[in-house]
Structure 1
Amino acid sequence: MDLSPFEANNSFSCRLASQIPDVCRTEDCCLGVDEAGRGPVLGPMVYGICFCPVSKKEELKDLKVADSKTLTEAEREDLFQKLDEAKSYVGWALQILSPNTISTSMLQRTKYNLNALSHDTAIGLIQYALDSGVQLKEVYVDTVGPADKYEDKLSQRFPGIKVTVRPKADSLFPIVSAASICAKVARDRVVKGWNFAEDLGDVDTEYGSGYPNDPKTKTWLLKYLDPVFGYPQFVRFSWSTAQTLMDSKAVTVHWEDDDEDGEKAAQRKNNRSMLSYFSASTEGNDHNATHQTHRFFTERRLKSLDAL
């Protein structure tokens, strides 16, 4: 699994895929869909598909694939290796959704929640398999939202394919278990080797599971909260956990709008407005010796001006 395309720029979504086995282009195939990392406030969410000929279902079962959540990291890595070695009849594809992609999607002006993003990602991966020539006849999906509605949605989108959507599908259907393992292995590797675009020095990698209720995760979020610029792109800033910390620990920002001048509103509430961070120093060019310009400005070679 070559993660270098995503590691080169982890701000965006990225698709990775194995080669398509020749047999999958000539025989009826089944395909499973599952995800890893839906709940964490840190790191990406990874959607995975795995497919093989219907005639090879028993061989896939013999690999003893299981729901990735019931396996240790070492067991998942071992099973992924077995799936990769079965490339003569097993194929897979992944969509890595960066934290930045997730948050900007959820916070855009037009409502686009995590369920809609998940559905669209799954549909995109199934369509990728079809476009690649995989002869799909059966699709099995771990549900997101009501199973019956999701099943109807996929059945209408892919007529002629038998679609089965079930809760806990990763524990019911080996092909979904295989997709679960591919997705989880990819996410574990990405999180462990995350390339921080921000200059954070020697980053503390003890950030725990990434789930909001993990004490290690909470400690890490407090440690790396910049009071003005918020969090590095490793954090899903649309999550309520991150938003709550920013509201309570970061600098209050007042934006100018049509109703009231932002500077005056900020002064009245004894807060600084966003504009004040970009204005020239009241002391002219003599900055406080202890003041260190934020990397946002130095990276872009921005300087304060006395006048426009």
Structure 2
Amino acid sequence: MGDSSNAFVPPSIDPLRLFAGESFAHYSKCPPLKTNDAASTPIHAEDCPTDTSESPETKAPEYFVLGVDEAGRGPVLGPMVYSAFYVPRHLHRSLLTNDYSFDDSKILTPTVRMNLMRLLCTPGTPLFESCGWATKLLSAQDISSGMLRPAAAAYNLNAQAMDATVEIIRGIVEDRKVDVREVYIDTIGNPATYQKKLERIFPTLKITVAKKADSLYPCVSAASVVAKVTRDIALELCYDEAVKVKQQESSQVSASESWGSGYPSDSKCVNWLRTNMEPIFGWGNECRFSWGTAKEMLELKGGTRVDWPSEEENSQLRDFLLTSSGGSKKSDHELCEWFGHKTTEVL
């Protein structure tokens, strides 16, 4: 990883919100759904994601099919990104597979993924003019804060992923009124259980949840590319920002230093976490503190222990401050002065 200041940054990334540790969504423009004319744009059997009883040459109703996939579920560093990608039914395979060779993002090279994303964001290209997409970026900070809640209120990763999926589908279908009728999703856990949950939320949509959906349905493949590129660039930007902060703190940062892919299995990632751990606060909001890798380092490998006052101790301190040696109660103004003055207050 290096300086990405001159690199392509897709509109799915808001650097300011990213560096602030916020989660946010992005929706592309909604392409017009052109009326399908069998004489000029026949529906071919290969373009239909599901079997129909219609003859390939007969006129069929035109609508969008939508795919959902994610990137960055397992890393200890950086965000997780969910993406939805929708395309006119009659272009589903011919455009995405035949013309642009979308596939599972893990199979494509970084260069191919980046080129596809650039085309998707370039006005005038068939991808830009025909397809739409959306992303939900879940920050490492928000992922961890949800997972580290007390047991009864814990917001686990599957629940967060489910909510992200529902949010972007709803944002496209209900808020932006895009005529989506078929949805294909790469599963979280048991496909049948996940599909039933989504069908209850979206009863008017034909939903298919499947393992390896990113290899089976081109719209899911395209969603996986959007999610992967967004996640990778976000991770690069976060790294550059972390290095900049270290330099401002006059810390020694090697130009060749890198945190790699951000996965716990990546030795570069583990080494970066170990050598850049702040004794009390650990790391910045680019780290998922709920991951075992981070927790173990903080607890066992040198993290400074801090004992915070209990509620009882806090009340005792307040009682002490509110009483003078003679037993009279101090005014609220005097109590505020003990803690300090507002920056705007005239002393």
TM-score class normalised by the smaller sequence: 0.7 to 0.9
Q: Secondary structure at the match of 1:163?
A: strand
Please list, as runs of the form range in 1=range in 2, the aligned pairs for 1:75-224 lying within 5 A after superposition: 75-84=112-121, 85=125, 86-109=127-150, 110-130=153-173, 131-194=175-238, 195-196=241-242, 199-201=245-247, 206-224=258-276
Query: Which letter maps to 2:68?
Result: V
Q: 1:217–1:174: structure 2 CA closer, same or farther, 3 Å change rule?
A: same
Aligned to 2:285: 233
Matched, 1:254 2:313: no
Q: Does structure 1 retain, via aligned residues, the 8 Å contact 2:85–2:222? A: yes
Distance 2:223 2:299 in 1: 38
Q: Does structure 2 retain, via aligned residues, the 8 Å contact 1:43–1:98? A: yes
Q: Secondary structure at the match of 1:200?
A: helix
Q: CA RMSD in A?
A: 2.5
Deviation for aligned residue 1:258: 6.2
Distance 2:158 2:243 in 1: 28
Q: 1:5 aligns with which of 6, 9, 14?
A: 14
Q: 1:17 aligns with which of 27, 30, 53?
A: 27
Deviation for aligned residue 1:61: 2.0
Distance 1:4 1:52 in 2: 22
Q: Does structure 2 retain, via aligned residues, the 8 Å contact 1:6–1:14? A: no
Q: Does structure 2 retain, via aligned residues, the 8 Å contact 1:211–1:217? A: yes
Deviation for aligned residue 1:6: 3.8
**1:174-213: CA deviation from partner (whole Å, max 9, x where unpaired):** 1000000001111111111223498311755511111102
Please list, as runs of the form range in 1=range in 2, the aligned pairs for 1:19-34 lying within 5 A after superposition: 19-23=29-33, 27-34=62-69
Distance 1:30 1:24 in 2: 14
Deviation for aligned residue 1:17: 2.1
Query: Which letter maps to 1:48?
Result: S
Query: Which letter maps to 2:11?
Result: D
Aligned to 2:83: 48
- Largest Rg, 1 or 2: 2
Query: Which letter maps to 2:269?
Result: T
Q: 1:83–1:198: structure 2 CA closer, same or farther, 3 Å change rule?
A: closer
Q: 1:74–1:7: structure 2 CA closer, same or farther, 3 Å change rule?
A: farther
Query: Which letter maps to 2:246?
Result: L
Distance 1:227 1:60 in 2: 49
Divergent runs of 4+, >6 A? none
Structure 1, unmatched stretches of 5+, are 263-300, 303-308
Q: Does structure 1 retain, via aligned residues, the 8 Å contact 2:31–2:131? A: yes
> TM-score w.r.t. structure 1 length?
0.79
Q: Secondary structure at the match of 1:22?
A: coil
Query: Which letter maps to 2:219?
Result: I
**1:201-241: CA deviation from partner (whole Å, max 9, x where unpaired):** 17555111111021111100011111111211111111111
Name the % identity: 38
Moved more, 18-27 or 239-248: 18-27
> TM-score w.r.t. structure 2 length?
0.71
Q: Does structure 2 retain, via aligned residues, the 8 Å contact 1:25–1:135? A: no
Distance 1:100 1:91 in 2: 28
Q: Does structure 2 retain, via aligned residues, the 8 Å contact 1:25–1:133? A: no
Distance 2:219 2:190 in 1: 21
Distance 2:169 2:276 in 1: 38
Deviation for aligned residue 1:108: 2.3
Q: Does structure 1 retain, via aligned residues, the 8 Å contact 2:86–2:219? A: yes
Q: 1:61 aligns with which of 97, 102, 123?
A: 97
Q: 1:203–1:184: structure 2 CA closer, same or farther, 3 Å change rule?
A: farther
Query: Which letter maps to 2:97?
Result: K
Distance 1:256 1:59 in 2: 62
Query: Which letter maps to 1:111?
Result: A
Q: Does structure 2 retain, via aligned residues, the 8 Å contact 1:50–1:93? A: yes
Deviation for aligned residue 1:3: 5.0
